[in-house]
């Protein structure tokens, strides 16, 4: 699966493509690079609105294609957004009716995270 990040693309478009591929995961883009890093009370983080364009946030960014493999981990994807796009991202996993930061399991693949969240959510329906 590919995520196409373009200067004129909306954050919400990438979020939608990502969520279609991984329905139990969510990607959010941090407004401030200086905000709390992963695992340090990230509840204070503020995220960009999905209607914004990537180019409005980072005017110097180049178009970029992210090829997501079955082996791509949460930390790898977050690192690509920070280092290649210049826009920090956090991945969240659905747990029932709440979204949890993937702090402890950042070394898991996207597929593992999504499957785990699916199992948790299915178990909560019983």
Contact 66, 77 (CB under 8 A): yes
Element (H, E) at 57: helix 54-57
More confident residue, 3 or 35: 3
Taking residues 74-97, report their average pLDDT.
93
| CA 85 – CA 87 distance, rounded (Å) | 5
Confidence of residue 97 (pLDDT cuts 50, 70, 90): confident
Taking residues 67-96, report their average pLDDT.
94
Does 9 score more than 80 pLDDT? yes
| Residues in contact with 126: Cβ distance below 8 Å, sequence separation at least 6, in sequence order | none
Does 36 score more than 60 pLDDT? no
Average pLDDT, the chain: 89
CA 96 from centroid of its chain's CA atoms? 18
| CA 106 – CA 4 distance, rounded (Å) | 22
Contact 33, 57 (CB under 8 A): no
Domain ranges of the chain: 2-123
Does 82 score more than 80 pLDDT? yes
């Amino acid at each position: 699966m590919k995520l196409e990040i373009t200067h004129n693309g909306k954050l919400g478009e990438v979020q939608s493509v990502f969520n279609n591929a991984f329905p139990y995961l969510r990607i959010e883009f941090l407004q401030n690079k200086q905000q709390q890093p992963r695992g340090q009370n990230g509840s204070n983080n503020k995220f960009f609105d999905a209607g914004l364009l990537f180019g409005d946030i980072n005017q110097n960014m180049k178009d970029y294609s992210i090829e997501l493999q079955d082996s791509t981990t949460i930390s790898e994807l977050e690192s690509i957004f920070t280092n290649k796009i210049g826009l920090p991202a956090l991945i969240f996993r659905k747990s029932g009716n709440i979204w949890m930061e993937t702090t402890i399991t950042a070394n898991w693949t996207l597929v593992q995270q999504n499957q785990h969240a699916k199992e948790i959510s299915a178990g909560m329906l019983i």
